Amino acid sequence: MITMKKKILLSLSLMMSIVAFAQQNISYGVSAGAGIYNMRGETVNELKQVLNFTDGIITTNAVTGFNGGGYVNIPVGGNLSVEPGLYYSSKGYQLKGSYTVKDISILSANVVSTLRTGYIDMPILLKADFNGLQVFVGPQVSYLTGASLNTRASVAFFDLLNSDLDVTNRFNRWDAAVTGGLGYQFSNGLRFTASYERGLMRADADRNTQLYNQGFKIGAGFTF
């Protein structure tokens, strides 16, 4: 795992060294948006197989989070550019259980357990621009700033439990991912993007379970 981190950091360093020679027409921008995140991997697949036996009483769900930050766009020739960025992203996962006695809503029990994680994402994207239409792809390194687990349980109209636990130490501080997507930038600098992110490093601290972050993001930004 240490070797993977070294390779990632070396790749980022080499890319930054290359783009340092392209100092003309550099532009800067800010961007913000929303993401829909969950987790993937064999552990999640096994969990879903077990939950299938609950006949829909317990389900897994994606969570919606915020992302925002800034970027630098550096032309490298033709319609190509390299775009390093620095963003804060909220990610996570959710388990939800609900049971109703003989379709009587007043006799219902609900449990929702929501994992929320916060990351500092550092992507370096290779971008091609076709008269405003943009296609981009690249590696991303992320650092976990915190993780919390909220569990809420209720029966009928009564709340039985509402707890928040700090579970940061149970997760791997570092993550690596590949990301790519499409966007469109208008002549005035306004742009819109949609992208997919696929985590490559196991999310748990001991790296014993196959849990990986993944999500879709949409955003709006402005290039100065």
> What's the distance, CA 4 to chain centroid?
20
What's the rounded mean pLDDT across residues 27-46?
Answer: 83
Q: Which domains does the chain have, with CATH numbers?
A: 2-223 (2.40.160.20)
Residue 54's pLDDT is: 47
User: In the structure, what pLDDT confidence band is assigned to residue 40 with cuts at 50, 70 and 90?
Assistant: confident
What is the overall mean pLDDT for the chain?
Answer: 83
pLDDT the model gives residue 193: 98
Q: What is the pTM of this model?
A: 0.80
- Please give the pLDDT value at position 66: 95
Q: Would you place residue 39 in the very low, low, confident or very high pLDDT band (cuts 50, 70, 90)?
A: confident
Beta carbons within 8 Å of 36's beta carbon, 6+ residues apart: 62, 63, 64, 215, 216, 217
pLDDT tier at 53, thresholds 50, 70, 90? very low
Q: What is the dihedral of CA 122, 124, 128, 133, to 10 degrees?
A: 0
What's the pLDDT band for 205 if we cut at 50, 70, 90?
Answer: confident
Distance, in Å, from the CA atom of 113 to the CA atom of 18, rounded to the nearest integer, reads: 45
- Residue 9: which pLDDT band, with cuts at 50, 70 and 90? low
